Structure 1
Amino acid sequence: MSTEPPLYLRVAEELQARIESGELVPGTRLPSVAEISRQYGGVSNSIASKAYKVLVDEGLVVSRHGAGHYVRSPDTPELLVRRHRRRSEDSPFAEGAAEQGAAGTWRHESTTAQASDVVAARLGITAGAAVMHTSYVYLADERPVQLAESWEPLDLTGQSLIALPEVGPYAGVGVAARMRVLGIDVDDPVERVRARTATRAEAQTLGMTPPGPVLAIERTYYDQATGRAVETADIVMRGDRWVSVYGQRPTG
């Protein structure tokens, strides 16, 4: 009778050894289930899935639906760093959280609406024009850290596969990646950032008792070819959990 552990446990142990040795650092995206299966001679995908379940249960790995598995840090970072990720194909929030050892997820709700005067001015459209309005609650390791209200003009996106930001083949990616589906190239967004105290509703959603400081960001993305605004959003970030970094240090 063989005393050798099941293959999925051996796979998990080998990945665990690479994580604990520092070869795979926090935030590293791990091989896909299919890649693991190929590495072990074409075994069933269930072997890799069970191996990752072991690592997730042990707190070494985080799993994000549709984006794979990432090495997790021992603890959720107390301070999250926000950077622009214009060319990312993944969600900028999820990618940034993963690099810092946290699992970035979000809740969302999209509805068609009429642009208010303020939203219309920011998008350069007529007040009352149809927009897709999406509300987000972003979580790091299941703890709410950020809110967002986003608006996109439906005369631009309404007949396309990206009309609903979180539904369809392009769900879960950033604005820049979605707009490229329409042949639109955007650069870094224009952002206005200010500090203020959270409203009662914001504090309740973000778990801030009593209401504390937040970073309030008014963000707008523009089509680089035409100058047209393609998306605008109001973002609220917990001031005690975030620092926002702009620009990039030269590599030369």
Structure 2
Amino acid sequence: MPREAQYLAVAEKLRARILSGEWEIGERLPSRARLAVEYEVGRNVLQRAMNRLIIDGLLEGRAGSGTYVRTPRERLRLVRSRLRHRREGSRPGPDRRERGRADAWDSHSQVRVPAPEPIAERLAISPGDLCVNTHYEFLADGQPVQLSESWEPLAITGETPIVLPEMGPLAGKGVVERMRSIGVVISRVVEVPRPARATQVQANLLGISVGDLVLQIERTIFDADGRPVETADMVIPDVRREVVYEFGVDRP
């Protein structure tokens, strides 16, 4: 059996035993050494198999203690939809709020931050051009569910009441409404989703494990002239969120 397939086969056998209830939630699994002997594989193969199940949310490692069956977490649906935004506005009422949808957030903005080269390219500005950089931590029922880092060119919002996204008369109203207030009309939003693994910083902020699967969404917002006015990197933990995109159909 090829080495790459070997650890996947072991992972599937362990998965079947876990799902069958052989080990109860919160119960510690046998040692890696014992399982390696049982499956007649090397410890590295067994380690990769268990890491796979940790990433998938079935197991959790506890430093100095061992590996345990993880308590299942409810995975809620997060719908990203332009139609929904049009129907409900920027803040849906409590009777329409999607289960688990972020209902609070913490943010921190810095002004006059030079744009790194990748951000400058996305904003069609020069590297080093000044921006407003904002970090967000979104919460649902007090639990962290999403991170976001936003960049807005200071050339657009500087010297206006909306220079800080979460301060001023339109604090928290979102990019579309804030930009409209200074005469900038938003025409389209482009999102590029990519799977990734949680870094140490992301894991600490989201309350997940390092290496857990996350969805990274690179979002850029354009005005009616095709000028990028904001770009952001969002991080959503896969173990808590199923991200769904909703599209409308043009009628003839």
Which TM-score bucket, shorter chain as reference? 0.5 to 0.7
Deviation string for 1:44-88 (max 9, x for gaps)? xxxxxxxxxxxxxxxxxxxxxxxxxxxxxxxx9641313234546
Counterparts of 1:210-221 in structure 2, within 5 Å, are: 210-221=210-221
Counterparts of 1:1-252 in structure 2, within 5 Å, are: 78-85=75-82, 86-87=85-86, 89-91=89-91, 98-100=97-99, 104-112=103-111, 113-224=113-224, 226-248=225-247
Deviation string for 1:197-216 (max 9, x for gaps)? 11111011100035410000
Query: Which secondary structure does the structure 1 equivalent of 2:119 belong to?
Result: helix
8 Å Cα contact 1:103-1:142 kept in structure 2: no
Distance 1:96 1:102, change over 3 A: farther
Q: Once structures 1 and 2 are overlaid, which stretch shifts more, 238-247 or 149-158?
A: 238-247
> Root-mean-square deviation (CA), in Å?
2.7
Query: Which secondary structure does the structure 2 equivalent of 1:215 belong to?
Result: strand
Query: Which secondary structure does the structure 2 equivalent of 1:152 belong to?
Result: strand
Could you list the runs of 5+ residues in structure 1 that have no partner in the other structure?
1-75
Q: Once structures 1 and 2 are overlaid, which stretch shifts more, 81-90 or 198-207?
A: 81-90
Deviation string for 1:179-199 (max 9, x for gaps)? 111222223411111111111
Could you list the runs of 5+ residues in structure 2 that have no partner in the other structure?
1-72
Cα deviation for residue 178 of structure 1 reads: 1.2
Cα deviation for residue 147 of structure 1 reads: 0.3
Q: How many residues align?
A: 175
1: CA distance, partners of 2:189 / 2:95 = 17
Stretches (4+) displaced over 6 A: 94-97
Q: TM-score, normalised on structure 2? A: 0.63
Give the counterpart letter for 2:162 in structure 1. I
Query: Which secondary structure does the structure 2 equivalent of 1:187 belong to?
Result: strand
Give the counterpart letter for 1:244 in structure 2. V
% of aligned pairs identical? 42
2: CA distance, partners of 1:151 / 1:110 = 10
Larger Rg: 2
8 Å Cα contact 1:82-1:96 kept in structure 2: no
Give the counterpart letter for 2:78 in structure 1. V
* Partner of residue 12, structure 2: none
Q: TM-score, normalised on structure 1? A: 0.63
Query: Which secondary structure does the structure 1 equivalent of 2:131 belong to?
Result: strand
Cα deviation for residue 251 of structure 1 reads: 11
Distance 1:203 1:182, change over 3 A: same
Give the counterpart letter for 1:166 in structure 2. E
2: CA distance, partners of 1:154 / 1:219 = 18
Query: Which secondary structure does the structure 1 equivalent of 2:179 belong to?
Result: helix
Cα deviation for residue 139 of structure 1 reads: 0.6
2: CA distance, partners of 1:211 / 1:243 = 18
Distance 1:209 1:101, change over 3 A: closer
Cα deviation for residue 101 of structure 1 reads: 6.0
Higher strand share: 2
* Partner of residue 44, structure 1: none
